Amino acid sequence: MKEIILIKDGEIVLKGLNRRQFEDVLKKNIRIALHELGKFEITSAQSTITVKPLSEDIDLDEACDRVGRVFGIVSYSRAALCEEKSMESVLATAPVYLEKQLRKAKTFKVEAKRSDKKFPLKSPEISRELGGVLLSKFPHLRVDVHHPDVTVTVEIRDYAAYVRADAIRGAGGIPVGTGGKAAVLISGGIDSPVAAYMMAKRGLKLTAIHFASPPYTSQRAEEKVVRLLQKVSRYATPMTMYTVPFTEIQEKLRDDCPEELFTIIMRRLMMQMAERIAKDNGCAALITGESLGQVASQTIGALGCTDEATDMVVFRPLIGMDKQEIIDISYKIDTYETSIEPYEDCCTVFTPKHPRTKPILKFVKAAQEQAGFEPLIEKALQNLKVTQIYPE
Ligand code: ATP
Ligand code: MG
């Protein structure tokens, strides 16, 4: 029996005129997600995208999992392609294809969607006929039109007939790449991978920036960030990661700035350097994993001082979330276990004992200017390490 995946796209429907372009990006992203699994034919018609595997040996379970992580999809389902577009073929296909689900269920209903108006039977007739056949083949079943355990759907389209069970909820959101580009500041922690995921969900194509301070931070800390991004890119599509050599800048910070301002000046320097990298990569915004009040550098005053360091829009999708809410998402996207591996981050080297929670911008800027970071910033930006990230 030939199986396919039927996909309903989501918010893109709302976008009226851009619909075509959104759908093209969505199809491209589906293609990228499936590309390793084999050859597929991906077509769209009548507000459904159809993914047809072109060889028998393709792992459709894995294909469905991957489709489930593509943003812009509201729901998807596996369906059997009927051999012919005839009622006989529908009646022959449904009981065989859906046998497992129907054996487990107590109640069911049949829903027919008939977009080919030339099909000889009307929708209620299709439902009635198939319902009757299923009741005779599975005598334990009852019909329940309000709360059925399984809804058997028959789709009669212009080009084929399909039979399927319930649709599965998709990842939602907007296709990655249709909302522009942004650079995410990524650490090895719990928060920033979640922030990256959330903004990719709103259609942004990501570039990742990571600050590393060897030998204070280890190679393994950087590898951990790569592994986190590989997880994130299962949703966010492949991306480029820039690793910024941050050691000399942090040493200067330690030597030439007041201790209580270490963190806030460091955050400003990160933003300034990230802005440069972002602009070079055509990104129009920065993304961080900051959450109001979580640590000393994330008070309203500290965030104000951080923000002032860049002209760019800064997205902080976690700003109003509790840690547990963030952790819940990190479980869902499977980054949690990696995030909690105990490697140091550059933020945790040279941390002041008493960081200012209400820094005064004037003093922060003066201290930063007096230390004079420009030559070191230029040097670091000329020595970026570039890593290509692919989903894993
Ligand atoms: P996370 O869990 O994302 O590490 P956090 O709660 O530890 O966040 P901070 O360490 O204060 O908070 O960092 C706040 C934000 O700054 C991070 O979410 C991330 O966006 C950015 N950031 C922190 N460290 C780095 C780093 N080494 N490289 C790039 N960005 C960083
Ligand atoms: Mg951190």
How many angstroms separate the CA atoms of 232 and 207, rounded? Answer: 12
In the prediction, which pLDDT does 15 show?
Answer: 56
CA 329 to centroid of ligand 1, rounded, Å: 17
Q: Is the CB of 355 under 6 A from ligand 1?
A: no
In the prediction, which pLDDT does 18 show?
Answer: 75
Residue with tokens 């009040």: 293
Q: Is the CB of 349 under 6 A from ligand 1?
A: no
Contact between residue 168 and residue 75 where contact means Cβ atoms under 8 Å apart = yes
Task: Please state the atom number of ligand 1 nearest to the C-alpha of residue 190.
Answer: 2
What tens digit of pLDDT does each residue of 375-391 get?
999 999 999 999 999 99
Nearest-CA residue for atom 7 of ligand 1: 189
**Residue 335 Cα distances to 232, 282, 328, 343, angstroms:** 8, 27, 10, 15
Q: Is the CB of 155 under 6 A from ligand 1?
A: no
CA 222 to centroid of ligand 2, rounded, Å: 13
Residue ranges, the chain, pLDDT below 70: 10-17
Q: Is the CB of 211 under 6 A from ligand 1?
A: yes
Mutation test of ligand 1: which of 186, 192, 286 has the most ligand atoms closer than 8 Å to its C-beta? 192
Q: Is the CB of 292 under 6 A from ligand 1?
A: no
In the prediction, which pLDDT does 166 show?
Answer: 92
CA 347 to centroid of ligand 2, rounded, Å: 6
β-strand partners of 156? 114, 161
Q: Is the CB of 347 under 6 A from ligand 1?
A: yes
In the prediction, which pLDDT does 14 show?
Answer: 53
Chain mean position to CA 390: 13
Nearest-CA residue for atom 4 of ligand 1: 189
Residue with tokens 């194509």: 205
DSSP 228-253: HHHHHHHHH-SEEEEEEE-HHHHHHH
Phi, psi of 271 (to 5 degrees): -65, -45
How many angstroms separate the CA atoms of 326 and 349, rounded? Answer: 24
Contact between residue 235 and residue 333 where contact means Cβ atoms under 8 Å apart = yes
The model carries a pTM of 0.93
Nearest-CA residue for atom 21 of ligand 1: 185
Which of 338, 350, 341, 280 lies closest to 312, judged by CA? 280
In the prediction, which pLDDT does 333 show?
Answer: 97
CA 249 to centroid of ligand 2, rounded, Å: 18
What tens digit of pLDDT does each residue of 58-79 get?
999 999 999 999 999 999 999 9
CA 100 to centroid of ligand 1, rounded, Å: 47
Task: Please state the atom number of ligand 1 nearest to the C-alpha of residue 318.
Answer: 18
CA 216 to centroid of ligand 2, rounded, Å: 15
Ligand nearest to the CA of residue 270, numbered in listed order: 1
Mutation test of ligand 1: which of 271, 291, 347 has the most ligand atoms closer than 8 Å to its C-beta? 347
**Residue 376 Cα distances to 247, 252, 351, 364, angstroms:** 10, 9, 20, 18
Q: Is the CB of 346 under 6 A from ligand 1?
A: yes
Nearest-CA residue for atom 31 of ligand 1: 187
Ligand nearest to the CA of residue 323, numbered in listed order: 1
